[in-house]
């Protein structure tokens, strides 16, 4: 079975309709939120160790059935005692060792290919894999993601059309990220957006404007903007 690093690659390829046939990208889209799900019983001890208490006392309501699952984590809905709807992003147990093993295999394969191809050596693919290794291992620390979300939210504080979920730091740790639940539609099918009263053309424009603001104005950008990480909201708003 291929590990989570390959799932990450599949998530990226799912967005590349310029490279792959629609049948391939449609199949690969399942990796963006429909990866293999783990029974919560296998995650419970880890979650409760992070929270410092049972989920039944930490939350007014907790859904043991996952909302979604991807390469590194699984997401569950919950409700805080003040009524706030949230989601828990739970890191998969043992994921660091699995990713490190994936990356070692990829680096060995790329190293062999680089030795035999002068064309490939021009791009220094081993250095690219080393950068990927650093980035993926950093991504395993969910406190980094939480801090980055706070920074992006501050960057777009004056733009009502761009929404970022609030982070609940009292519940968040390296392997558990608790954030506001946002109800929206992933930007995969223009017709589903129209049926919800959302203008797909406006959403495309807003997405492009948001990327330009992040890269050219703010100097910070969302590094994984596939449809599993984006939601379209009523009023033609975009949630990252």
- Would you list the DSSP string of 114-144? HHH-HHHHTT-HHHHHHHHHHHHHHHT-HHH
Tokens of 11: 């998530």
Rounded Cα gap, residues 187 and 232, in angstroms: 6
**Cβ(197)–Cβ(203) below 8 Å:** no
The one catalytic residue among 141, 180, 213, 224: 224
Tokens of 52: 């410092």
Rounded Cα gap, residues 38 and 45, in angstroms: 13
Per 3-state DSSP, what percentage of the chain is helix, strand, and coil (rounded to 5)?
A: 50, 15, 35
Tokens of 113: 């290919």
224 a catalytic residue: yes
Instruction: Kindly list the catalytic residues.
Output: 224
């Amino acid at each position: 079975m291929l590990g989570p690093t390959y799932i990450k690659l599949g998530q990226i390829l799912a967005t590349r309709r310029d490279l792959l046939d629609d049948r391939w990208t449609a199949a690969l889209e399942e990796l963006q939120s429909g990866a293999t799900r783990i029974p919560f019983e296998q995650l419970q001890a880890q979650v409760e160790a992070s929270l410092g208490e049972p989920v039944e006392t930490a939350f007014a309501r907790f859904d043991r059935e996952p909302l979604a699952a991807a390469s590194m984590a699984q997401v569950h809905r919950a409700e805080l005692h003040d009524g706030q709807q949230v989601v828990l992003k739970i890191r998969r147990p043992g994921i660091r060792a699995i990713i490190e093993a994936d990356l070692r295999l990829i680096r060995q394969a790329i190293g062999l290919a680089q030795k035999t191809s002068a064309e490939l050596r021009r791009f220094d693919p081993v250095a690219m894999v080393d950068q990927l290794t650093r980035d993926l291992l950093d991504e395993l620390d969910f406190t980094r993601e939480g801090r980055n979300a706070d920074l992006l939210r501050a960057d777009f504080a004056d733009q009502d059309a761009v929404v970022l979920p609030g982070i609940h730091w009292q519940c968040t740790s390296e392997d558990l990220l608790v954030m506001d639940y946002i109800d929206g539609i992933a930007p995969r099918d223009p017709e589903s957006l129209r049926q919800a009263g959302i203008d797909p053309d406006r959403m495309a424009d807003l997405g492009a404007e948001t990327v330009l603001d992040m890269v050219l104005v703010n100097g910070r950008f969302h590094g994984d903007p596939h449809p599993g990480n984006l939601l379209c909201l009523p009023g033609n708003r975009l949630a990252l």
